[in-house]
Structure 1
Amino acid sequence: MNKVLEVLNDFGIVELRPPQKKALERGLLDKNKNFLISIPTASGKTLIGEMALINHLLDENKKPTNKKGIFIVPLKALASEKYEEFKNKYERYGLRIALSIGDYDEDEDLSSYNLIITTAEKLDSLWRHKIDWINDVSVVVVDEIHLINDETRGGTLEILLTKLKEFNIQIIGLSATIGNPDELAEWLNAELIVDDWRPVELKKGIYREGVIEYINGGNKEIEAINDNDIYNLVVDCVKEGGCCLVFCNTKKGAVNEAKKLNLKKFLTNKEKRKLKEIAEEILSILEPPTEMCKTLAECILNGSAFHHAGLTYQHRKIVEDAFRERLIKVICATPTLSAGLNLPCRRAIVKDLTRYTNKGIRPIPIMEIQQCIGRAGRPGLDPYGEGIILVKNDRDYLRAYQALTQRPEPIYSKLSNQAVLRTQLLGLIATREIRDEHDLEWFIKNTFYAYQYGNLREVAKNINEVIRFLEENEFIVDFMPTELGKRVSELYIDPLSAKYIIDGLNEMENEEEIYYLYLISKTLEMMPNLRVYKSEELDLINEMESLGIKSFEIEDLEAFKTAKMLYDWINEVPEDEILKKYKIEPGILRYKVENAIWMMHALKEIAKIIGKSSDIPEKLEIRLEYGAKEDIIELLSIKYIGRVRARKLYNAGIRNVDDIINNPSKVASIIGEKIAKKILDELGVKFGQQKLNL
């Protein structure tokens, strides 16, 4: 007990919050006891996980034990944030902290690290490379454990937890919103801590016709500055020194709202100067800046911003940091922002209660709305937080009232999802965790799915179909992985995607770069592909026919259109042109390219096994990474040189590192002195000083 409190004392924590005390009293420091913590955002969930980590990883003298801990988060961005935070806190005790969020097909050596920050998918992929250090792990903290309910990612987390339960490992699950925490706790054999204590009071209210009506009584009239309700709510908060998050149901909606929120008159001159610097930074990330960069920069000058998947990671980070520094007063975002990012505010406003899905217009789940409004109230900065839902009519009013007062929806296992089962069953067979039907049955009986549904008949049908598919396509034989099956499992791709690749390689009539790009675009990992409009269909079919492609279903046309976009990318078509031509945003392009690199690597590895090897996929993998033709790849490996600068330098005869070192003035005249200095610094050369032999 003492060492944990001593370490907390080192951080200046002398008094624990009620839910943290409760966890300690209920036996958090008993290393054999699992816990499920369901308490509001900002009430100290993470610290409960940290107390468990300290208990396992440090001895009585605050020195490292020989044990390992894993901290699982849902997003790469969140993993990076936690990594920086934990490094600053725990390296002083000699703990080695690792961040593992990279390539799925790598056998990372993490054996010398004490604490590993990762995502469920990355840990799952590491496991497939037969990590022997898993036996040293004695504690795992799972942040946002309710994501076991996620349609696409939940199954992976469930399988991981099912495997971890078999080890002598303490599992700590953290969540702010679970409708049925008792069920999940029972499955995890965990002590359940539910508490509604918050460090800052959260006032929940419904806004209609100029008035906030608070659920617990009382009203507040909002001054009508203009006829935009959101603007009036934001200004009311900003004038009192607060900041706001506005949640919209689409990316476009978030951008449009941010554009309407001009808060210049409420900014000090110092804030305006700083926001100008931030806007310039936004414009410097992509060369040349895209329309979206320009729109975001304009919003930032006004003290507002938008945040969604269409922005690049760097853009999102700049917006988040400026909001934390209270320079940006309002962010308009899609609800994904509420998934674990540490961005508290004074007032969280939910603009929409429904959204478009592939099943038509659907209500946004209560769980998600409560995650959004849970962001309100910054400890130490706000006297209270406010979660406000905007409504227009009586029906919306009723739905808003329910969202603010009812428990979130129960979470359910998503293990019956065929794609999850294909990937996970192959993984379990490839790592020999399942060797026969008995193992399979025993494993499935231990899942959350089996616990919830009791009746295994339905999932058994799915499982038998998947096993048959794996056998028919020669990934396994009698519960033994083939060489192909083992490699596909390590590559961490859906076996159905591997089948598409294999079929495509076998049918290939001529080796064209765009054909390889089309093959990877057909995989499930690249979904959803670009939308094809009626007017484009004929042209696409003609191009596909000329490559010997024989299938023209809408999915094939969408895959081919995506391949054309990737082809433009590797042939240096300006990014802004690509975005306009294919009607996508920078963040989506980056995400597609990232997945394409992964899938091209997988294609290259599968081609080796089936005897269809070629050097084209290898070159395409590198060119996808840099978005460039082959000739400038060496220049692109230098920091601060993107594809536009690389092409300018190459065309002027500067073609490699030595050319840059030997011609600093020429480099400066081509790309500007400021950037040239940064590049030469990176290469260990002072500007104006030539250093020929590095």
Structure 2
Amino acid sequence: MNVEVPQSRRKPDVDRFLEEFKSSLRNGRKPPLAILEYLGMVPSAPKNAVFNPMQIKAIKAGLLSRKPIIVSSPTASGKSLVMYTAIAYELSQYKTCIIAAPMKALVEEKLQELSELMPWASVEPLTSDYEMTDSKIAALSSADVVVTTPESLASRATKYTSEASLFLRRASLLVVDEVHFVGSEGRGATIEIGIVQALQANRRLRPLLMSATVGNVELFRRWLKSLTGREPVVIKSTYRPTKLRIRVIELRREDDRDLMLKQLIERDPEGEFLIFCPTRRQTVELAEELARRFGKDKVAYHNASLKRERRAEIERRFREREIRILTATSTVTTGLNLPAKHVVVYSTRRGPQMVDPIDVAQAVGRAGRPKYHKVGYGYVLVERGMGKWWKKRLKDFAIHSRLFTSQMETEFHINNLLHMGAFSTEEELLKWYEHTLRYAEEGESDVVASSIRRALRRLVLRGAITEDEGTYRQLPLGIVASTFYMWPASIALLRKNIRNLLTETDEQDDVVFCLAIVPLEWYDSYEGLDRDVEVFNIAASHPGAVRKLDTGGYPLHTGLALAKVLHDLLKGETPTPVHTMLKVDVGRILGAVSMMRRMGLVKGLSQSLLEEYRLRFKYGVPVEMLPLVRLPGVGRVYATRLWEAGLRTPEDILRSPEQAREILGAGRYEGVVRALQKGLQAQEVV
């Protein structure tokens, strides 16, 4: 496909810009929509009170230049306007900009903001949710601004010369929002790699790193200088238009948690409360309990399980103060603009694991927003004996690299870097490492170099890569791991258990299938599972499979318990808090197994069997109900109602139109009938 990119973009309407600028001043708002033309007239600091002190400092320091910039400033201090000012300036020069946001929810918000602030600009999203079709590639290539995630950015940098990466070759500004996430456990190293890959692929790309919780900005300055070869400008400000008061509350007993929360809410009957919970399930349960006390119409919950439209509606109602109390997960801790006078961190633990202090700091930093409050209040509820520890952590915002910090993660990232084409020899890999945040932090390290060499050897032994006269290349197992973002050791474990446990027949035992597909990431991400009699029932009813099960060195009981989690999902039982904590979703596991089958890594599994299991995991139904959930608009709930009413096949629905219409409703029933009459049962594709 040939992508045609216009030589120049249409200039925004200057009169409209100036009119919007004047209007925004009259209404007392900052005018990001008018900022492009305004800055064209005033290249230094503006003379009127449009910008706050931090923003003026950024402009004077070189925001409108080719210098790399790091902005470290509190939440609600106006970093977004700094970002949009830089973007507007670049677009005035007919250049392309990229925004890398750490979460898909934040990508959605940036898209919405840009469509409102710069409606004349072409803005295009890029995440794993979008397929690289010809039309998508054309849209990306002609976009003014591309909003993406670090993972997708790294993927495009891998294929830098492809047509789909034309936007990256044309870009002049890379904004990395919430850059402190490079220090987060799990995704931090991936974000770091994405930044390195993009800036190495396009040496003209100017980075703008922004965060509210980077205390050690000098480290990031050294890192950017190493990456770009240019001296970065550091904007460090304590300016915050709304005062923030943080209180760490140490609970005497666990039972005091709900009591303390209700007391805080009752102290300010008119104030807005944003309550952060570690798990989705907790947001729902807590919202239901608070609704009984404070009114159903004043309480809601917000998490990633809700559809995008529903989340947007809840956010709107909270901003407009129709909802006063909102329970939420981390989907709203990062950058989403939800003004709340009070922010409560309900718990600092996610199961047995401690919540990252960075996430807690981000949460309480959302308390109090300009135009709404003079003071914001943040509360952190902690267990007994942890008060002093949390007070210290909330003052120390030093961010440290997570790259190459454990054996499995090191293997994972090196395998992915080889897939990206970042290196082909050990020397090239060590040279690549010199441009990372960890190298800027530690310098040359024999420990890291040894870890890298050890990981290369282990990847060869696992069959993920091969080495020939010092040159490395990926093998099918390593390609599967990179494609599905899983550990190479996990793919090797899946291959072994599938070969040992699953027979060459489509009539698989559900329990045995669940035992065979537990990935190694699940073992690593959860410890201390409660002992359950059903776990021992698995051992008693499937002794042969249990004897053959390889748990990768973890306790056998953990493997049985994790298989039970999968089996519960297969049966349609409500996901437990355990499941919400586990790395790698079931769809990704089955996708990896399907690719392993196609590449000849495993045998005896038909694609139709894997498709059946995919649908059963998705809907939580027995195999007999699959013909019903495959019908358009018929999910688990309606399929169950049809089944219980005796309508157990598509033919039954056609034979009992009145009964089916009553169960499905007129619109859904007519859609099903049309599909059946045309012989178009909607089958999802893996």
TM range (shorter): 0.7 to 0.9
Greater shift in the superposed pair: 452-461 or 126-135? 126-135
Counterpart contact for 2:501–2:549, Cα < 8 Å:
no
Q: CA deviation at 1:29?
A: 2.5
Deviation string 1:465-510 (CA, Å, 9 cap, x unpaired) is 1100111122222212234433432232211111112222332452
Q: Does 1:608 align with 2:598?
A: yes
Q: CA deviation at 1:322?
A: 4.0
Q: Does 1:566 align with 2:601?
A: no
Q: Does 1:231 align with 2:297?
A: no
Change (3 A) 1:247 1:566: closer
- What SS does the corresponding residue of 1:165 show, helix, strand or coil? helix
Deviation string 1:2-52 (CA, Å, 9 cap, x unpaired) is 97998697584442333223222222222x322211111122222322333
Q: Does 1:164 align with 2:153?
A: no
Alignment correspondent of 2:104: 76
Alignment correspondent of 1:268: none
Q: How does 1:191-270 map to 2 (within 5 A)?
A: 191-204=233-246, 228-238=259-269, 241-247=270-276, 261=290
Q: How does 1:427-466 map to 2 (within 5 A)?
A: 427-466=416-455
Q: CA deviation at 1:605?
A: 0.6
Alignment correspondent of 1:500: 493
Change (3 A) 1:250 1:597: closer
Change (3 A) 1:88 1:630: farther
- What SS does the corresponding residue of 2:174 show, helix, strand or coil? strand
Return the alpha-carbon distance in structure 1 between the equivalents of residues 418 and 12 of structure 2.
42
Alignment correspondent of 1:121: 151
Return the alpha-carbon distance in structure 2 between the equivalents of residues 634 and 567 of structure 1.
21
Return the alpha-carbon distance in structure 2 between the equivalents of residues 18 and 682 of structure 1.
61
Return the alpha-carbon distance in structure 2 between the equivalents of residues 664 and 55 of structure 1.
62
Q: CA deviation at 1:109?
A: 4.9
Q: Does 1:21 align with 2:52?
A: no
Return the alpha-carbon distance in structure 1 between the equivalents of residues 522 and 153 of structure 2.
18
Unaligned residue ranges in structure 2 (runs of 5+): 1-10, 25-29, 32-49, 226-231, 252-257, 681-686
**Which structure has the higher relative contact order (CA within 8 Å, separation 6+)?**
1
Q: Does 1:596 align with 2:638?
A: no
Alignment correspondent of 2:515: 518
- What SS does the corresponding residue of 1:93 show, helix, strand or coil? coil
Alignment correspondent of 1:155: 189
- What SS does the corresponding residue of 1:112 show, helix, strand or coil? helix
Return the alpha-carbon distance in structure 1 between the equivalents of residues 103 and 423 of structure 2.
29
- What SS does the corresponding residue of 2:378 show, helix, strand or coil? strand
- What SS does the corresponding residue of 2:517 show, helix, strand or coil? helix
Q: CA deviation at 1:648?
A: 3.4
Return the alpha-carbon distance in structure 2 between the equivalents of residues 468 and 74 of structure 1.
32
Return the alpha-carbon distance in structure 1 between the equivalents of residues 79 and 632 of structure 2.
38
Unaligned residue ranges in structure 1 (runs of 5+): 210-226, 266-271, 273-299
Q: Does 1:54 align with 2:44?
A: no
Change (3 A) 1:564 1:401: closer
Greater shift in the superposed pair: 336-345 or 254-263? 254-263
Deviation string 1:48-73 (CA, Å, 9 cap, x unpaired) is 223333334x345xxxx4x5433222
Return the alpha-carbon distance in structure 2 between the equivalents of residues 525 and 419 of structure 1.
13
Counterpart contact for 1:144–1:174, Cα < 8 Å:
yes
Counterpart contact for 2:110–2:147, Cα < 8 Å:
yes
Counterpart contact for 1:106–1:126, Cα < 8 Å:
no
Counterpart contact for 2:154–2:194, Cα < 8 Å:
yes
Return the alpha-carbon distance in structure 1 between the equivalents of residues 679 and 281 of structure 2.
52
Return the alpha-carbon distance in structure 2 between the equivalents of residues 526 and 542 of structure 1.
22
Deviation string 1:360-401 (CA, Å, 9 cap, x unpaired) is xx7x766444323211112222233223457999x8776676
Q: Pick the aligned partner of 2:540 from 538, 542, 555.
A: 542
Counterpart contact for 1:107–1:129, Cα < 8 Å:
no
Return the alpha-carbon distance in structure 1 between the equivalents of residues 481 and 382 of structure 2.
50
Alignment correspondent of 1:179: 215
Return the alpha-carbon distance in structure 2 between the equivalents of residues 421 and 125 of structure 1.
18
1:243 partner letter: E
Return the alpha-carbon distance in structure 2 between the equivalents of residues 648 and 357 of structure 1.
35
User: Across the two proteins, how many residue pairs are aligned to each other?
Assistant: 608
- What SS does the corresponding residue of 2:235 show, helix, strand or coil? strand
Q: Does 1:482 align with 2:482?
A: no
Alignment correspondent of 1:292: none
Q: Pick the aligned partner of 1:533 from 531, 537, 549.
A: 531
Q: How does 1:340-351 map to 2 (within 5 A)?
A: 340-350=335-345
Return the alpha-carbon distance in structure 2 between the equivalents of residues 251 and 556 of structure 1.
28
Counterpart contact for 1:46–1:174, Cα < 8 Å:
no
Alignment correspondent of 1:375: 366
- What SS does the corresponding residue of 2:62 show, helix, strand or coil? coil
Change (3 A) 1:647 1:235: closer
Return the alpha-carbon distance in structure 2 between the equivalents of residues 415 and 4 of structure 1.
50
Deviation string 1:502-523 (CA, Å, 9 cap, x unpaired) is 2223324524253343332233
Deviation string 1:583-612 (CA, Å, 9 cap, x unpaired) is x15xx7578798111111111111222353
1:543 partner letter: S
Change (3 A) 1:684 1:201: farther
- What SS does the corresponding residue of 1:27 show, helix, strand or coil? helix
Change (3 A) 1:140 1:96: same
Q: How does 1:297-446 map to 2 (within 5 A)?
A: 300-301=296-297, 303-305=298-300, 320-332=315-327, 337-350=332-345, 355=349, 367-388=358-379, 402=392, 406-446=395-435
Counterpart contact for 2:364–2:378, Cα < 8 Å:
yes
